[in-house]
């Protein structure tokens, strides 16, 4: 039986509507892109061995990438009227409670149009050129190209030719932003890759987190079946000067891998998930996480990913909400909110489309929604076994007892993000 749900898709580009498509409008297809020039940010590849920039605390970058480039370009597009609404005018509040869920009233993301059917029982689907994809966005929606450099220096070129043959990676605006600086990272855009993680694309996403070098800047990924609606490989990212509740949740260490990667399990959080940290190099961490994602994809398990703490911490969250919705197993009251629990909502940033839901937002309501997203304990353990087999660990038979110190969150005008603190672990054989 094919499982489908109906939902109103979010517009991420002003060219997503059928009547706006076509060439002659500075799109990214071959009809318009061949002579185009776009800004290029060239990032330094991680060095072999211990990567000092990766393992150290976030610091002031040599080039103010996030503030001077990404946000500068993003604000330029806002002044040019490319966004569907002013996200800075959306009401936002921290919900009282232990976790500090963040609620936003974003009525602008709600489109009064007929819902579209989405298939939710296949995580891997072939790319379809006839459907909307990111080669159809306008060049004015692209902020810059994001490419590695081999000379060991961060470089910026304000007007660089687009090397179509080598399929560059683009950073573009999301015209229906959730937060300030909301962008899309589109790896190797002209290869027209479907929405599926591979080692190279995930490493690009981690590099962007490292280059941003700001704990307020997180990247997220939604697989098909976990509320991705565009089957063209992309990550999302934005800036939120508050800790995500998932970043403050306690964890239990369950494995140390060769290469220095530590894997933990979330505790006392409504959605079960794994946390990946450490690594002797950025690539060590990237390979472990991407191999885990590839395992989920190959086993047809929908999932979401959050990259936080300047690329040093990654949350992997298998989910089943869309499947439950398709089977009629989700309470109608939850469906009426039209909240689609993708990576941001699962991480604790609740994007609400109705004033009623915003006014009545509570930790209990957020918990109730997210509990429907989570796999059962039994199913989560089955998925973990698949993941650990795929990354070469086999089944886990080590019990770990952890004492966690959670960083306090400053209440100053420039609060520090509460990220995972240090852990003292006693391994019980």
Whether the CA torsion 49, 54, 57, 61 is positive or negative: it is positive
CA 294, CA 299: separation in Å to the nearest integer?
Answer: 9
CA 306, CA 316: separation in Å to the nearest integer?
Answer: 7
Residue 234 annotated to the active site: yes
Residues 6+ apart with CB under 8 A from 187: 169, 193, 200, 201, 204, 205, 233, 234, 235
The backbone torsions φ and ψ at residue 324, rounded to the nearest 5 degrees and listed phi first, read -60, -40
CA 9, CA 114: separation in Å to the nearest integer?
Answer: 9
CA 266, CA 277: separation in Å to the nearest integer?
Answer: 13
Asked whether the beta carbons of 249 and 267 are under 8 A apart, the reply is yes
Given its phi and psi angles, is residue 300 left (phi above 0), alpha (psi -120 to 50 degrees) or beta? left
The single residue of 18, 234, 349, 414 carrying the catalytic annotation is 234
Q: What strands lie across the sheet with 91-94, from one edge to the other? A: 91-94, 102-105, 349-352
The backbone torsions φ and ψ at residue 19, rounded to the nearest 5 degrees and listed phi first, read -70, -10
Residue 399: strand pairing partners: 428
* CA-to-CA dists, residue 388 to 200, 283, 291, 402, angstroms: 21, 18, 10, 20
Residues 6+ apart with CB under 8 A from 428: 398, 399, 400, 401
Catalytic (active-site) positions: 234
């Amino acid at each position: 039986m094919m499982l489908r749900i109906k939902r109103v898709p979010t517009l991420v580009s002003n060219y997503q509507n059928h009547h706006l498509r076509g060439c002659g409008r500075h799109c990214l297809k071959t009809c318009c892109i061949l002579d185009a020039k776009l800004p290029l940010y060239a990032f330094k590849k991680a060095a072999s061995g211990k990567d000092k920039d990766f393992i150290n605390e976030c610091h002031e970058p040599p080039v103010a990438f996030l503030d001077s480039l990404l946000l500068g370009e993003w604000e330029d597009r806002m002044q040019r009227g490319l966004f569907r609404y002013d996200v800075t005018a959306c009401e936002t509040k921290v919900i009282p409670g232990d976790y500090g869920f963040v609620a936003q009233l974003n009525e602008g993301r709600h489109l009064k149009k007929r819902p579209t059917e989405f298939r939710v029982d296949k995580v891997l689907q072939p790319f379809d050129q006839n459907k909307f994809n990111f080669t159809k966005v306008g060049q004015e929606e692209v902020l810059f190209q994001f490419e590695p450099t081999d000379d060991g220096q961060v470089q910026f070129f304000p007007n660089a030719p687009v090397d179509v043959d080598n399929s560059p990676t683009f950073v573009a605006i999301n015209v229906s932003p959730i937060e300030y600086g909301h962008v899309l990272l589109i790896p190797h855009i002209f290869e027209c890759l479907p929405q599926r993680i591979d080692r190279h694309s995930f490493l690009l996403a981690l590099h962007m987190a490292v280059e941003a070098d700001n704990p307020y800047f997180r990247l997220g990924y939604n697989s098909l079946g976990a509320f991705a609606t565009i089957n063209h490989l992309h990550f999302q990212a934005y800036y939120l000067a508050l800790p995500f509740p998932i970043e403050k949740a306690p964890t239990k260490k369950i494995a140390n891998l060769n290469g220095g990667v530590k894997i933990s399990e979330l505790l006392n959080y409504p959605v079960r998930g794994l946390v990946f940290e450490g690594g002797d190099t950025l690539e060590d961490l990237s390979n472990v996480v991407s191999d885990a994602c590839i395992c989920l994809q190959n086993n047809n398990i929908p999932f979401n990913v959050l990259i936080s703490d300047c690329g040093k911490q990654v949350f992997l969250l298998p989910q089943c909400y869309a499947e439950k919705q398709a089977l009629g197993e989700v309470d109608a009251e939850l469906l009426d909110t039209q909240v689609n629990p993708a990576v941001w909502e699962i991480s604790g940033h609740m994007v609400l489309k109705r004033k009623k839901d915003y006014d009545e937002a509570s930790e209990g309501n957020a918990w109730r929604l997210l509990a429907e997203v989570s796999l059962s304990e039994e199913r989560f353990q089955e998925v973990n076994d698949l993941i650990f087999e795929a990354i070469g660990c086999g089944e886990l038979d080590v019990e770990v007892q952890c004492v966690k110190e959670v960083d306090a969150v400053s209440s100053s005008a420039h609060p520090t993000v509460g990220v995972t603190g240090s852990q003292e672990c006693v391994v019980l054989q």
